[in-house]
Amino acid sequence: MHFPELKPIRQRPFPKQIEVYELSKVKKMKISENIAELLGKKASFYLDHVCEKITKDELQTPGKDGLDQVFGNSNRNPQVLRSLAQLYGQGNLGGTGYLSILPVDQGIEHSAVYSFYKNPDYFDPENILKLALEAGCNGVASTFGGLALNARKYAHRIPFIVKINHNELLSFPNKYDQTLFGKVKNAWDMGAVAVGATIYFGSDESDRQITEISEAFEHAHQLGMATILWCYLRNEAFKTADQDYHSAADLTGQANHIGVTIQADIIKQKLPTNNFGFKNIKFGKYDDAMYEALTTPHPIDLCRLQVANCYMGKIGLINSGGDSKGESDLLEAITTAVINKRAGGTGLIMGRKAFQHPFKDGVNLLQRVQNVYLDNKITVA
């Protein structure tokens, strides 16, 4: 595979339209028309919905002054604020309050061969950095080893987010646990602006993980780095004969709420696909009235509940892009971005849908997702 030469990092504050690589027959149309066309018959369903349970006026919505409004009076020290500003100020979405992050830790989480067999070039972590730069991402999240190997060449060119723990998946049988792969100070030494970590809420090891990552995040803040938490659920009981509640709005929302409690600056979460996890699994605290008061089955309302659990949007929610399914990736990515933005979220952290395609197609997809956040006609519902 041939990679184009690196170009200077592009800073585009509030552009009306950005041009990207051609995709199929979609060419230089207005952003909003492109998105509506891609959504097809579902365009009105996603673009015209109004959230009436938790309204947008109750939220802290993303914007260029969001960091001052949220963290200006917080306990985050000036170096953390500078790191957050560097992350939010980078790339095509710089200055908008939204984030487009390229995460590539799948070499550990899903095995390197399975993750990279479609594009073996990505066994070389430098190509991951090239993809994030060319696509105009705010930052790149990856492993200690992959980022450390390229730190002197790239840490000043694009913000590094070091993923400090992983489920290594080589133990058999597999277990729902996350293991620290290095020290927070190692991330600081290589010039990272943030650390990322996963907690498997609901797993047997979740109590230890909460304690471990709380301490790691405290250390990261002391050193001046921001913190991003992957708030994932893992418990066999969450998957019943009728439904998989690992992506239920109420359960993932509670995971988010625990995440912001341990002072994550940004929450990463899967897009919700259903609800009523507490009620149908029959555990925890729930009341039928809470579902009626806060949500509807509409996907934007379900995501709005996730945002509400992030201190009403004061801590940014970025949704994950999910696995790559081939030709449907663009439509799925655009749909996820529209739901996240209209729910009051802060952006997407999308990896496999980008790096499991040829380089230009990966750049194209990431920039088309960024277009959703650059389009001022797509508003918070």
The CATH number linked to 295 is 3.20.20.70
Has residue 19 been placed in a domain? no
Q: Is residue 236 part of a domain?
A: yes
Residue 50 lies in a domain: yes
Question: Is the bond preceding residue 173 a cis peptide, omega within 30 degrees?
Answer: yes
Asked if residue 16 is part of any domain, the answer here is no
Domain that holds residue 358: 31-374
Domain annotation covers residue 356: yes
SS3 85: helix
Q: pTM here?
A: 0.91
pLDDT of residue 326: 83
**Token pair of 90 as six digits:** 């980078």
Q: Of the candidates 204, 237, 199, 193, which has an alpha carbon nearest to the alpha carbon of residue 215?
A: 199
What is the count of structural domains for the chain?
Answer: 1
Per-residue confidence (pLDDT) for residue 4, from 0 to 100: 46
Q: How far apart are the first and last CA of the chain?
A: 41
* 344/336 Cα distance (integer angstroms): 12
Closest CA to 297 of 248, 253, 332, 334: 248
State the catalytic residue, choosing from 268, 270, 341, 353. 268
With respect to residue 179, please indicate whether it lies within any of the assigned structural domains: yes
Beta bridge partners of 244: 239
Q: What is the pLDDT along the chain (381 residues), one digit of tens a residue?
A: 444 444 443 443 333 333 433 333 333 334 565 899 999 999 999 999 999 999 999 999 999 999 999 999 999 999 999 999 999 999 999 999 999 999 998 778 888 888 888 888 989 999 999 999 999 999 999 999 999 999 999 999 999 999 999 998 888 888 899 999 999 999 999 999 999 999 999 999 999 999 999 999 999 999 999 999 999 999 999 999 999 999 999 999 999 999 999 999 999 999 999 999 999 999 999 999 999 999 999 999 999 999 999 999 999 999 998 888 888 999 999 999 999 999 999 999 998 888 888 899 999 999 999 999 999 999 999
In angstroms, the CA 109 to CA 166 distance is: 6
**Is residue 371 a contact partner of residue 18, using CB atoms and an 8 Å limit?**
yes
In a domain, 242, yes or no: yes
Pairing of strands 165-166, 179-180: antiparallel
* CA distances in angstroms from 20 to 136, 281, 337, 370, listed in the order given: 11, 45, 17, 10
Q: Is residue 20 part of a domain?
A: no
Active site residue 185: no
